[in-house]
Amino acid sequence: MKEKMLNDFQILTYEDSLVELGVTTAFNDASFKFDTEEGRNNLTKLKNALQVKKICYLKQIHSDKIIMASEGVELHGQVEGDSLITTSIDTMIGVFTADCIPVLIWDGNKKVIAAVHSGWKGTFDSIVKKTIEVMIKDFNCDSSSIKVFIGPHIRQCCYEVSEELIDKFKKNNLYAEQDINNGRYLSLEKCIEMQLKYIGVNKDNIIKSGFCTLCEKDTKLHSYRKDGEHSGRMFTYIYLK
Protein backbone atom coordinates (compact mmCIF):
# COMPACT_ATOMS: atom_id res chain seq x y z
CA MET A 1 0.00 0.00 0.00
CA LYS A 2 1.04 3.59 -0.57
CA GLU A 3 0.67 6.50 1.83
CA LYS A 4 -0.42 9.85 0.45
CA MET A 5 -1.70 13.14 1.79
CA LEU A 6 -5.14 14.34 0.75
CA ASN A 7 -5.54 17.86 2.09
CA ASP A 8 -5.44 17.36 5.90
CA PHE A 9 -5.76 13.57 5.73
CA GLN A 10 -3.27 10.78 5.36
CA ILE A 11 -4.63 7.97 3.19
CA LEU A 12 -3.42 4.42 2.61
CA THR A 13 -4.19 3.52 -1.00
CA TYR A 14 -3.98 0.56 -3.36
CA GLU A 15 -3.77 1.14 -7.11
CA ASP A 16 -6.45 -0.47 -9.29
CA SER A 17 -7.52 0.47 -12.79
CA LEU A 18 -11.25 0.09 -12.13
CA VAL A 19 -11.83 1.45 -8.62
CA GLU A 20 -10.46 3.98 -6.17
CA LEU A 21 -10.02 2.68 -2.66
CA GLY A 22 -8.36 3.91 0.46
CA VAL A 23 -8.13 3.91 4.24
CA THR A 24 -7.91 7.05 6.34
CA THR A 25 -5.38 6.92 9.17
CA ALA A 26 -5.20 8.59 12.59
CA PHE A 27 -2.68 11.15 11.33
CA ASN A 28 -3.38 14.50 13.03
CA ASP A 29 -5.87 12.54 15.19
CA ALA A 30 -8.38 12.63 12.34
CA SER A 31 -11.50 10.66 13.21
CA PHE A 32 -14.43 9.70 11.00
CA LYS A 33 -17.06 8.67 13.57
CA PHE A 34 -20.23 9.70 11.76
CA ASP A 35 -22.15 10.33 14.99
CA THR A 36 -19.82 13.21 15.91
CA GLU A 37 -19.60 16.66 14.36
CA GLU A 38 -15.91 16.13 13.67
CA GLY A 39 -16.59 12.84 11.91
CA ARG A 40 -19.36 14.25 9.73
CA ASN A 41 -17.19 17.22 8.78
CA ASN A 42 -14.28 14.96 7.90
CA LEU A 43 -16.51 12.72 5.77
CA THR A 44 -17.67 15.78 3.83
CA LYS A 45 -14.10 17.01 3.42
CA LEU A 46 -13.06 13.57 2.16
CA LYS A 47 -15.93 13.43 -0.33
CA ASN A 48 -15.07 16.87 -1.66
CA ALA A 49 -11.35 16.13 -1.86
CA LEU A 50 -12.01 12.95 -3.85
CA GLN A 51 -14.57 14.79 -6.00
CA VAL A 52 -17.31 12.19 -5.71
CA LYS A 53 -20.98 13.12 -5.85
CA LYS A 54 -22.27 10.95 -3.00
CA ILE A 55 -21.06 9.15 0.07
CA CYS A 56 -22.95 6.28 1.69
CA TYR A 57 -22.44 4.45 4.96
CA LEU A 58 -24.47 2.44 7.46
CA LYS A 59 -25.07 2.40 11.19
CA GLN A 60 -22.93 -0.63 11.94
CA ILE A 61 -24.37 -3.18 14.39
CA HIS A 62 -21.99 -6.19 14.16
CA SER A 63 -24.49 -8.15 12.06
CA ASP A 64 -24.57 -10.02 8.76
CA LYS A 65 -27.13 -7.59 7.34
CA ILE A 66 -26.46 -6.54 3.74
CA ILE A 67 -27.88 -3.31 2.29
CA MET A 68 -28.10 -2.10 -1.32
CA ALA A 69 -27.24 1.54 -2.03
CA SER A 70 -29.43 2.22 -5.05
CA GLU A 71 -29.13 5.06 -7.55
CA GLY A 72 -30.19 8.43 -6.17
CA VAL A 73 -30.19 7.32 -2.52
CA GLU A 74 -27.73 8.63 0.07
CA LEU A 75 -27.30 6.64 3.27
CA HIS A 76 -25.77 8.56 6.13
CA GLY A 77 -26.01 6.13 9.00
CA GLN A 78 -29.80 6.08 9.25
CA VAL A 79 -29.97 2.43 8.09
CA GLU A 80 -28.55 -0.42 10.16
CA GLY A 81 -26.27 -3.02 8.61
CA ASP A 82 -22.67 -4.04 8.10
CA SER A 83 -22.33 -4.59 4.35
CA LEU A 84 -23.12 -2.10 1.62
CA ILE A 85 -23.31 -2.93 -2.09
CA THR A 86 -23.73 -0.51 -5.00
CA THR A 87 -23.40 -0.23 -8.78
CA SER A 88 -23.74 3.56 -8.74
CA ILE A 89 -20.98 5.57 -10.38
CA ASP A 90 -19.58 8.50 -8.35
CA THR A 91 -20.88 6.99 -5.12
CA MET A 92 -18.32 6.31 -2.43
CA ILE A 93 -19.24 3.61 0.08
CA GLY A 94 -17.27 2.72 3.18
CA VAL A 95 -17.09 1.35 6.69
CA PHE A 96 -15.79 2.64 10.02
CA THR A 97 -13.29 0.62 12.04
CA ALA A 98 -10.89 0.83 14.95
CA ASP A 99 -9.82 -2.85 15.22
CA CYS A 100 -12.52 -4.73 13.28
CA ILE A 101 -11.74 -5.73 9.70
CA PRO A 102 -12.77 -3.47 6.81
CA VAL A 103 -13.22 -5.49 3.63
CA LEU A 104 -13.68 -3.99 0.17
CA ILE A 105 -14.96 -6.18 -2.67
CA TRP A 106 -15.29 -5.39 -6.36
CA ASP A 107 -16.06 -6.99 -9.70
CA GLY A 108 -14.72 -4.71 -12.39
CA ASN A 109 -16.46 -6.63 -15.18
CA LYS A 110 -19.92 -6.12 -13.68
CA LYS A 111 -19.05 -2.80 -12.03
CA VAL A 112 -20.29 -3.86 -8.61
CA ILE A 113 -18.58 -2.81 -5.37
CA ALA A 114 -19.12 -3.61 -1.70
CA ALA A 115 -17.80 -2.37 1.64
CA VAL A 116 -18.03 -4.73 4.61
CA HIS A 117 -17.51 -4.26 8.35
CA SER A 118 -16.40 -7.64 9.73
CA GLY A 119 -15.79 -7.83 13.47
CA TRP A 120 -15.67 -11.20 15.19
CA LYS A 121 -19.45 -11.53 15.09
CA GLY A 122 -19.70 -10.62 11.41
CA THR A 123 -16.75 -12.87 10.61
CA PHE A 124 -18.30 -15.79 12.50
CA ASP A 125 -21.54 -15.20 10.59
CA SER A 126 -19.61 -15.16 7.26
CA ILE A 127 -20.71 -11.66 6.24
CA VAL A 128 -17.98 -11.43 3.59
CA LYS A 129 -19.00 -14.73 1.98
CA LYS A 130 -22.68 -13.75 2.14
CA THR A 131 -21.94 -10.40 0.50
CA ILE A 132 -20.22 -12.12 -2.42
CA GLU A 133 -23.12 -14.59 -2.68
CA VAL A 134 -25.48 -11.61 -3.09
CA MET A 135 -23.17 -10.09 -5.73
CA ILE A 136 -23.21 -13.40 -7.63
CA LYS A 137 -26.98 -13.94 -7.31
CA ASP A 138 -28.25 -10.40 -7.87
CA PHE A 139 -25.60 -8.95 -10.21
CA ASN A 140 -24.31 -12.05 -12.03
CA CYS A 141 -20.80 -11.54 -10.70
CA ASP A 142 -18.26 -14.32 -11.16
CA SER A 143 -16.18 -15.19 -8.10
CA SER A 144 -13.11 -15.67 -10.30
CA SER A 145 -13.23 -12.00 -11.36
CA ILE A 146 -13.86 -10.62 -7.87
CA LYS A 147 -11.09 -8.79 -6.05
CA VAL A 148 -10.94 -8.27 -2.29
CA PHE A 149 -9.03 -5.83 -0.12
CA ILE A 150 -8.58 -6.63 3.59
CA GLY A 151 -7.75 -3.44 5.44
CA PRO A 152 -5.94 -2.58 8.68
CA HIS A 153 -7.31 -4.38 11.74
CA ILE A 154 -6.15 -5.97 14.97
CA ARG A 155 -4.18 -8.92 13.67
CA GLN A 156 -3.40 -12.29 15.20
CA CYS A 157 -0.24 -10.91 16.82
CA CYS A 158 -2.40 -8.82 19.18
CA TYR A 159 -5.93 -10.26 19.05
CA GLU A 160 -6.15 -12.27 22.26
CA VAL A 161 -9.64 -13.64 22.91
CA SER A 162 -11.28 -16.12 25.25
CA GLU A 163 -10.90 -19.86 24.84
CA GLU A 164 -14.69 -19.96 24.53
CA LEU A 165 -14.54 -17.76 21.42
CA ILE A 166 -11.79 -19.90 19.88
CA ASP A 167 -13.94 -22.99 20.52
CA LYS A 168 -16.95 -21.23 18.97
CA PHE A 169 -15.02 -20.64 15.75
CA LYS A 170 -13.56 -24.15 15.74
CA LYS A 171 -17.07 -25.60 15.87
CA ASN A 172 -17.90 -23.82 12.63
CA ASN A 173 -17.34 -26.30 9.80
CA LEU A 174 -15.66 -23.63 7.71
CA TYR A 175 -12.86 -23.21 10.25
CA ALA A 176 -12.87 -26.56 12.09
CA GLU A 177 -9.69 -27.97 10.53
CA GLN A 178 -8.01 -24.65 9.76
CA ASP A 179 -5.02 -22.94 11.38
CA ILE A 180 -6.88 -19.84 12.52
CA ASN A 181 -5.38 -19.41 15.99
CA ASN A 182 -2.19 -19.59 18.02
CA GLY A 183 -3.43 -20.45 21.47
CA ARG A 184 -5.83 -17.66 22.41
CA TYR A 185 -4.66 -15.41 19.57
CA LEU A 186 -7.24 -15.52 16.79
CA SER A 187 -6.76 -14.53 13.15
CA LEU A 188 -9.98 -13.10 11.77
CA GLU A 189 -8.10 -12.46 8.55
CA LYS A 190 -7.49 -16.19 8.05
CA CYS A 191 -11.18 -16.83 8.73
CA ILE A 192 -12.13 -14.36 6.02
CA GLU A 193 -9.63 -15.97 3.67
CA MET A 194 -11.39 -19.30 4.30
CA GLN A 195 -14.69 -17.68 3.33
CA LEU A 196 -13.14 -16.32 0.15
CA LYS A 197 -11.62 -19.68 -0.75
CA TYR A 198 -14.97 -21.39 -0.15
CA ILE A 199 -16.80 -18.99 -2.46
CA GLY A 200 -14.18 -19.33 -5.20
CA VAL A 201 -12.20 -16.07 -5.02
CA ASN A 202 -8.70 -16.49 -6.46
CA LYS A 203 -5.91 -16.20 -3.92
CA ASP A 204 -4.07 -13.80 -6.23
CA ASN A 205 -7.09 -11.46 -6.12
CA ILE A 206 -6.88 -10.99 -2.34
CA ILE A 207 -4.96 -7.87 -1.26
CA LYS A 208 -3.98 -7.55 2.39
CA SER A 209 -2.82 -4.31 3.97
CA GLY A 210 -0.62 -6.05 6.54
CA PHE A 211 -1.24 -3.32 9.13
CA CYS A 212 -2.15 -4.18 12.73
CA THR A 213 -4.14 -1.39 14.32
CA LEU A 214 -2.78 -2.14 17.79
CA CYS A 215 0.97 -2.56 17.26
CA GLU A 216 1.73 -0.67 14.03
CA LYS A 217 4.50 1.85 14.83
CA ASP A 218 5.20 3.77 11.62
CA THR A 219 1.63 4.64 10.61
CA LYS A 220 -0.77 6.03 13.19
CA LEU A 221 -4.00 4.03 13.31
CA HIS A 222 -7.07 4.02 15.55
CA SER A 223 -7.42 1.08 17.93
CA TYR A 224 -10.31 0.53 20.30
CA ARG A 225 -8.28 -1.94 22.36
CA LYS A 226 -5.60 0.68 22.81
CA ASP A 227 -7.73 3.76 23.44
CA GLY A 228 -11.12 2.41 24.52
CA GLU A 229 -14.08 4.77 24.36
CA HIS A 230 -11.74 7.61 23.35
CA SER A 231 -10.73 5.86 20.15
CA GLY A 232 -11.50 7.54 16.85
CA ARG A 233 -12.53 5.69 13.69
CA MET A 234 -10.87 5.13 10.35
CA PHE A 235 -12.94 5.13 7.17
CA THR A 236 -12.20 2.51 4.52
CA TYR A 237 -13.82 3.44 1.22
CA ILE A 238 -14.26 2.40 -2.39
CA TYR A 239 -15.89 3.88 -5.47
CA LEU A 240 -16.04 3.10 -9.18
CA LYS A 241 -13.90 5.20 -11.50
Domain spans of the chain?
A: 2-240
* Count of C-beta atoms within a 10 Å radius of residue 183: 8
Q: Count CA atoms within 13 Å of residue 214 on its CB side.
A: 14
d(CA 120, CA 188): 7
Please give the pLDDT value at position 74.
79
Q: Which residues contact 131 (CB under 8 A, 6 or more apart)?
A: 66, 83, 85, 105, 114, 116
Please give the pLDDT value at position 70.
80
* Count of C-beta atoms within a 10 Å radius of residue 202: 14
- pLDDT one digit per residue (tens) for the chain, 241 residues: 899 999 889 999 999 999 999 999 999 999 999 999 999 999 999 999 999 999 999 999 999 999 999 876 779 999 999 999 999 998 999 999 999 999 999 999 999 999 999 999 999 999 999 999 999 999 999 999 999 999 999 999 999 999 999 999 999 999 988 899 999 999 999 999 999 999 999 999 999 999 999 999 999 999 999 999 899 999 999 999 9
pTM listed for this prediction: 0.97
The CATH number that domain 2-240 falls under is 3.60.140.10
Please give the pLDDT value at position 72.
66
